[in-house]
Amino acid sequence: MSENNKEILGIHHITAIATDPQRNIDFYSRLLGLRLVKLTVNFDDPNTYHLYYGDEIGDPGTILTFFPWPGAPRGRLGTGQATAISFSIPEDSFEFWMEHFKLHRVEFHGPANCFSDQVLSFADPDGLRLELVAHKGADATRAWKEGPIPVEYAIRGFHGITLSEQNSELTNALLTDLFGFRHLREEENRCRYEAPGRSSATLVDVIGLPEVPRGAIGAGSVHHVAWRTRNDEEQKTWRKKLVDVGLHVTPIIDRKYFHSIYFHEPGGVLFEIATDPPGFTVDESPAELGTHLMLPPWLESTRSEVEQSLPKVHLPPISKIR
């Protein structure tokens, strides 16, 4: 594999846990203006939705997904977890977003400084910690132009992810020595790294919290962080590299819209490496994304049973809010 092909390109997607699927859809599609690009089920638990949000076609680096488990207990923040998800927004967008949050009664904090960034912090209805980062480098191609948020203020995919660790040195070593991430800067107990993919959604902050207990997965917490690789061949090579350094890695799993391998990084966060192809238009046209319940071929024979087991949801209209 050539030196270029050893790159992890950045964040592919991030998956979190919610409770009420309708409330989740309303918050992320109507209030934050992300497109619901796929309405499907958890392939490992078909009685649960799997909701995918992103830009117009769900490009890697824009995809936030949820397992909504009604009645799930709230997670406990701590170490061994991804503890904040950052979205990229255009420079000079904070005034719009602060007024938007006030209008919809979303509590927020900031803007505050984090390294050279200005960050607005808030949480979703399940307590998942989110951030908006306004900067010049926000990628205009990653905005959903037909969404409810005016395009000049719209979210442009991920800015980065924050990991909290008891022993941050082990995680830092994996990111730099194995993944090839570049150390950018450090302040107190927070280190920032950048994936070498030369695209957006490439930043990861690692916070060292040696005295903080491990967190517990539940509603309002991140389930896993998925990193991008270009294709199946490179994914196989990454799997071998991970096994060779002693990590326990799953076999390659077909997730229909990408192929996946999973492993826990040394600090305990569940990582995935996912392929860019085939993408979300493999079973729906770009115009129809997120408008029907889509099932993988192996579940189609049980569609009626699956549909009856899922709570009814009202999907967002694809139109601008004026």
Lowest mean pLDDT among 72-86, 102-116, 264-278: 102-116
> What rounded mean pLDDT belongs to the chain?
93
Question: Given this model, what pLDDT does residue 4 score?
Answer: 46
pLDDT at 317 over 80: no
Question: Given this model, what pLDDT does residue 271 score?
Answer: 98
Question: Given this model, what pLDDT does residue 54 score?
Answer: 97
Q: Where are the domains of the chain?
A: 4-309
Residue (of 73, 70, 126) closest to 309 by Cα position: 70
Q: Which helix (H) or strand (E) holds 308?
A: helix 303-309
pLDDT at 217 over 60: yes
Lowest mean pLDDT among 131-140, 181-190, 258-267: 131-140
Judged by phi (left if over 0) then psi (alpha if -120 to 50, else beta), residue 137 lies in: alpha
pLDDT at 2 over 90: no
Question: Given this model, what pLDDT does residue 322 score?
Answer: 31
Question: Given this model, what pLDDT does residue 50 score?
Answer: 98
CATH among 3.40.50.10140, 3.40.50.720, 3.10.180.10, 1.10.760.10 for 4-309 = 3.10.180.10
Question: Given this model, what pLDDT does residue 321 score?
Answer: 37
Mean pLDDT over 13-36 rounds to 97
Question: Given this model, what pLDDT does residue 227 score?
Answer: 98
Cβ-based neighbour number of residue 135 at 10 Å: 15
Contact 193, 185 (CB under 8 A): no
pLDDT at 166 over 80: yes
Mean pLDDT over 15-43 rounds to 97
Question: Given this model, what pLDDT does residue 6 score?
Answer: 66
pLDDT tens-digit readout, 112-151? 988 888 999 999 999 999 999 998 777 777 889 889 999 9
